[in-house]
Amino acid sequence: LYMRGVNRELPLFIVGLSFAAAEGGARLHLSPLLVSLAAGALIANLDEREGRRIHHAIQQAGLPVFALFFAAAGAGLKLDALVTVGPAALLLVGLRGLAIWAACRKFAPAGDPRLKRYLWMGLISQAGVTFGLAALVSRTFPTFGPQVEVLIVAMITAHELVGPVLTRRALLGSGEIRAEEAGGGA
């Protein structure tokens, strides 16, 4: 309705609506994260064109929102738990990477051998909703939740550091891009 009637400053409207949904959802004992996911799925499936406009508006407003989110999430982390959960995080990162690699080798379509060889590299990065879920685990289970949150954040950090490098290597190795397009040599 806002987009059809007012249609001005959509990024600002979405940020305000997000805060209102978070506050209203909390008062109704609804997870703001799940409310936002449901709203996004609903919009994307009801009107694809408007969904793209909203997605673009979110991208415009995203940088300051993400900066605040990550600052708040980082401020609440119990980094002393990293000493305890760090080795487990590295083990889980390795196991997850191995599982993705094996699944891609086994189940990638046989028509293009590049998929079997490079697809796994593009699937390593993850983040987004997982940070929110990690914070939710921390709040829901105060006895062990903070350690689980640090474990999850450590894993995501490792994936986000390694994932883009692997994706670039996959794109170069599969011939989807040339080294000049990727900003340098292989």
Q: 70 and 82 share a domain?
A: no
Position 51, amino acid: G
Distances, alpha carbon 129 to alpha carbons 54, 113, 121, 135, in Å: 18, 32, 20, 10
Which parts of the chain fold into alpha helices (H)?
2-5, 10-27, 32-46, 48-75, 81-107, 113-118, 129-140, 145-174
Q: 96 and 122 share a domain?
A: yes
Q: What's the pLDDT band for 175 if we cut at 50, 70, 90?
A: confident
Residue 97 CA to residue 94 CA, distance in Å, equals 5
Q: 111 and 136 share a domain?
A: yes
Highest mean pLDDT among 26-35, 62-71, 89-98, 126-135: 89-98
Q: Which of 18, 39, 74 is the last residue of a domain?
A: 74
**Would residue 185 count as lying in a domain?**
no
What's the confidence (pLDDT) of residue 116?
85
Taking only the tens place, the pLDDT of each residue in 41-98 is 888 888 888 788 888 887 777 777 777 776 776 666 677 777 888 888 889 888 988 9
Q: 51 and 1 share a domain?
A: yes
User: Crossing angle of helices 32-46/129-140, nearest 10°?
Assistant: 150
What's the confidence (pLDDT) of residue 181?
64
The mean pLDDT of 24-29, rounded to a whole number, is 84
**Would residue 115 count as lying in a domain?**
yes
Q: How many domains are contained in the chain?
A: 2
Q: 65 and 83 share a domain?
A: no
For 51-66, give the DSSP string: HHHHHHHHHHHHHHHH
Q: 5 and 59 share a domain?
A: yes
Q: 69 and 107 share a domain?
A: no
What's the confidence (pLDDT) of residue 100?
87
Q: 70 and 130 share a domain?
A: no
Which range marks the domain in which residue 40 is found? 1-74
CA 182 to chain centre: 23
